[in-house]
Structure 1
Amino acid sequence: MYLKSILTTVSLLVGLVSPTFGQSSTLTKDAKKPNILFIFADDWGWGDLSCHDHPYVKTPNIDRLAKEGSDFTRFTVASGVCSPSRTAVMTGHFPARHNVDGHFAWVPNNEQRGMPDWVDTAAPMLPRMLQGAGYKTAHFGKWHLSNNMIPDSPSPAEYGYDEYGAFNCSGEQMPYDHDARRTIAFMKKAQAENSPFFINLWIHEPHTPFHVIPKYRQMFPEITNDADSIFAATLAYADERVGQVLDALDELDLADNTLVIFTSDNGPARPKEGREPGLSYDSATGAGFDVGAAMGLTAGRKGFKASLYEGGINVPFLVRWPNKVPANKIDNDTMISAVDLLPTFSTLAGAELPNGYQADGYSQVEALLGTASKTRTKDLFWKSTNRFSDPSKSEHWASYAVVSDKWKLLTNQDQSYIELYDIVADPLEQNNLASKDPETSQMLTKKLSNWIATLPTKPTGNVFSDLRKK
């Protein structure tokens, strides 16, 4: 029934997504499938764009996507940290369904937290579905669905990519800034083969270490503070590489038939107050400045990276598809989730979903095209490894959260403390309504408990490194 619904949606929408708008209402073998370029930044906060009024960061190339497309301000990822957020994008599932509640680290740490050592290669995976629909698939940039410290973890190729260059994975680590050039080369190759393409461009910035090239710091002579200068330069370099890819789409005459999305895996990291930038080393990307230079902004949203408040999960979401997605539009209402991306991309690609597969999200094609209802029809859930006991001392206390209609509830590990917000009227989470609306609090607590009961208690499958035996 779910597959039939998806295919029906494709048939209804093909007249909108086809260059021959209005001339066809059914999906045909001759319909030109859109290319999909998914740009996933790392720790890029909602306020870290010049089009979002950052006080000194300049992102003219990424801003193009907002000017030439739509800016969805209510998009949320499925976690406040990296690996679970990426798992949700690629599987269409809440990451807790795969026991991925935190970032993939070295084996003893994964084992201690009840996590697998990598995402199961047998899990439903977006690139594999798109391969089945005739797409050439590629991944360039950060991986982190395993870790480079786990040498026997599967390579990205085992998840459905025809080509990849990556870091935070097993094997050779691609230099982090080779992402754009590899992406452009793959676009040219797919075009030569007359094939639609799906590319993950998962950029490193602005995650630590900050790899700063001096000429980019020279772009901001007015900034005298080291941390701000490092941060601005880091984002400027990332923005330039995004611009190279967008320019290549224009030069190859591919832009009009390419859906481009820019977003982030979670909100920005922040150092403890007063910490100055120091040096650090990452085994996947090399040496650079540490978290002391993490000056990301949430534009008033509460919390930062790892928090289940909006500052940790509400991130930029810019969508461009010329003559399909409305241009220069800001959408402050539509609630889109990372778990919606797989069904959305699959719908656009005409991809067949695996037997029995059920996404936790749903296709948002109509929302992207500006024709959908603003009301979200599926609840959203979060599970985190956060264990802070005193909410007054940390914004990383919530272990669970749920969004249903206009309501968002956060709770700690044993559900002894809750907060309730009208997330539509109060997107910055300033007014806790838990004591004023016990009926809604109880309803959402029950929804959350029912969802938790569906989750696996431990990882299963081929998801453990041989290092565990040692």
Structure 2
Amino acid sequence: MNHFKIAPLLVLLFLNVSLASDKPNIIFIFADDWGWGDLGCHGHPYVKTPNIDRLAREGTDFYRFTVASGVCSPSRTAVMTGHFPARYNIDGHFAWVPSNAKRNMPDWLSPEVTTLPRLLQKGGYQTAHFGKWHLSNNMIPDSPLPSEYGYDEYGAFNCAGEQMPVHEDARSANAFIEKSVADDKPFFINLWLHEPHTPFHTVPKYEWRFRDMEDDADRIYASVLSHADDRIGEVLSTLDRLSISENTLVIFSSDNGPARASQSTELTLQYDTATGAGWGIAASKGITAGRKGYKAALFEGGINVPFIARWPGKIPAGKIDQTSLISAVDLLPTFCSIAGVALPEDYHPDGVNQISALLGNGSEYREKPLFWKMQARWPPRANQPYHWVTWAIVDQNWKMMANQDFSHLELYDIINDPYEKNDLSETSPLVTNQLLEQIRDWKETLPDHPTGDVFSVERSQ
């Protein structure tokens, strides 16, 4: 079906011309394990997020955005490259070298691939990364630093080298914003928050806000989200103070759905080598607002995450978009279009330019299908009934999922059934077989093993 429209094309043409002499700033805020329901503007019963809610009031809240994986490292790979992470054999999180090798993964994303910050850097932007990295791991000391991927400045954790304290992300971003304004340069910032990933690093000020809550885990969870929201507010205040809010695109999203303990767990402290001590997974109380599954699942609870975009005067204010199927692989071509940066001729993104959707002219159908590949067990465990999917595809209104050997399939009309309640695989066999063939064809394009300079010296020891 051809869903070509003239209006969006004209909007895109006008935008590219109008931005040629006045490049907008771009701030991409990427939280860690922040569930779709964990926002005040999404109706959470006790979590308070006034600054993110402000973004929603002054921008558009896209309900149908999905990330490219149910876990962090592959999800972040998609943002950086505009490619499905399976193209790099990144199907899970980066861990110790033996664990990466056992799972047929590299030890880091290659810095030689086309990356979003490098393209923007070459296009005249000052670029920075502050917060979580996890495109390698702090346990792999010879992995490339974030500066090798196209950043002029960075402060990060879950990377090699010195680990930035998790709560210094906004302060670092604000200093970089002021420097860029003083230099009269457009800027791009990846602001990748720690919250609400474990450990939960609580601060008494924020626990005090929720002192009347009886449940310790709920109080801890609400406090760390409140702290993260305040830091986002600090960045928004800096944009206001410098009078650059009108020329700055700010997006808030999350790398995957909320984490949950698979069984009853005691609330205890834990220690992370990258971020320090904090409360463990018993305080992971994130919600999906009715979506199936949590983090590490390819059902919507694991991949359908918040996506709120504000760009005053460009993106409609106070709007809820419940139809546009935007993906994390779309961010690279979209941001480059906004910045007036041409994509290299030899680069072919899996994503598409979604500027029309951002400006209020979206469509419920995509030009290209979306694919997922994850490591998952079959049969599913009783305490994790939605964590069995290895392969998934979204094409037009259909979403199909399969286990590792394709012996079990489920099919959903994802437009009319976004909560995946009605499996149509048996009643729509033609669609099921067609999508299965597409997944098999896509699988044939993927590498059998990671290649290139993506292995730690520890592999040879």
The letter of the residue matching 1:285 is T
The one of 296, 313, 336 equivalent to 1:346 is 336
The one of 365, 384, 392 equivalent to 1:401 is 392
The gaps in structure 1 that reach 5 residues or longer are: 1-8, 18-25
The separation in 1 between residues aligned to 2:406 and 2:12, in whole angstroms, is 46
**SS class of match (1:280):** strand
**SS class of match (1:218):** helix
- Name the counterpart of 1:38: 28
Deviation at 1:139, TM superposition (A): 0.1
**SS class of match (1:27):** helix
- Name the counterpart of 2:4: none
**SS class of match (1:40):** strand
Contact 1:10 1:347 in 2 (8 A): no
The separation in 2 between residues aligned to 1:10 and 1:251, in whole angstroms, is 33
Deviations 1:394-437, CA, capped at 9 Å, x for gaps: 21001010000000000000000000000011100011111111
The one of 200, 218, 222 equivalent to 2:208 is 218
The separation in 1 between residues aligned to 2:91 and 2:13, in whole angstroms, is 40
The separation in 2 between residues aligned to 1:268 and 1:51, in whole angstroms, is 17
- Structure 1 segment 254-265 matched on structure 2, within 5 A: 254-265=244-255
Deviations 1:372-406, CA, capped at 9 Å, x for gaps: 33321210000001123137662100101000000
Which deviates further from its counterpart, 397-406 or 353-362? 353-362
The separation in 1 between residues aligned to 2:32 and 2:143, in whole angstroms, is 22
Does 2:270 correspond to 1:280? yes
The separation in 2 between residues aligned to 1:411 and 1:30, in whole angstroms, is 45
The one of 138, 148, 157 equivalent to 2:147 is 157
**SS class of match (2:297):** coil
Deviation at 1:14, TM superposition (A): 6.5
Superposition CA RMSD, Å: 1.6
Deviation at 1:234, TM superposition (A): 0.7
The separation in 1 between residues aligned to 2:171 and 2:254, in whole angstroms, is 20
Between the aligned residues of both structures, percent identity stands at 60
TM-aligned CA distance change 1:391 to 1:400, over 3 Å: farther
TM-aligned CA distance change 1:302 to 1:414, over 3 Å: same
The one of 437, 453, 456 equivalent to 1:465 is 456
Return the TM-score normalized by structure 2.
0.96
Does 2:197 correspond to 1:207? yes
Q: How many residues align?
A: 455
- Name the counterpart of 2:413: 422
Deviation at 1:222, TM superposition (A): 2.7
**SS class of match (2:435):** helix
The gaps in structure 2 that reach 5 residues or longer are: 1-6
- Name the counterpart of 1:103: 93
- Name the counterpart of 2:156: 166
Deviation at 1:29, TM superposition (A): 8.6
The separation in 1 between residues aligned to 2:262 and 2:276, in whole angstroms, is 23
The separation in 2 between residues aligned to 1:399 and 1:433, in whole angstroms, is 19
- Name the counterpart of 2:403: 412
Which deviates further from its counterpart, 332-341 or 380-389? 380-389
The letter of the residue matching 1:320 is R
- Name the counterpart of 2:369: 379
- Structure 1 segment 55-204 matched on structure 2, within 5 A: 55-204=45-194
**SS class of match (1:385):** coil
- Structure 1 segment 226-305 matched on structure 2, within 5 A: 226-305=216-295
The separation in 1 between residues aligned to 2:13 and 2:313, in whole angstroms, is 13
The letter of the residue matching 1:453 is E
The one of 316, 324, 336 equivalent to 1:326 is 316
Poorly superposed stretches of 4+, deviation over 6 Å:
none
The separation in 2 between residues aligned to 1:330 and 1:308, in whole angstroms, is 24
The letter of the residue matching 1:150 is I
Contact 1:227 1:295 in 2 (8 A): yes
Deviation at 1:318, TM superposition (A): 0.2
Deviations 1:148-193, CA, capped at 9 Å, x for gaps: 0000000000000000000000000000110000000000111111
Deviations 1:54-97, CA, capped at 9 Å, x for gaps: 01000001111100000000000000000000000000000000
Deviation at 1:272, TM superposition (A): 3.0
The separation in 2 between residues aligned to 1:152 and 1:296, in whole angstroms, is 34
The letter of the residue matching 1:437 is S
- Name the counterpart of 1:356: 346
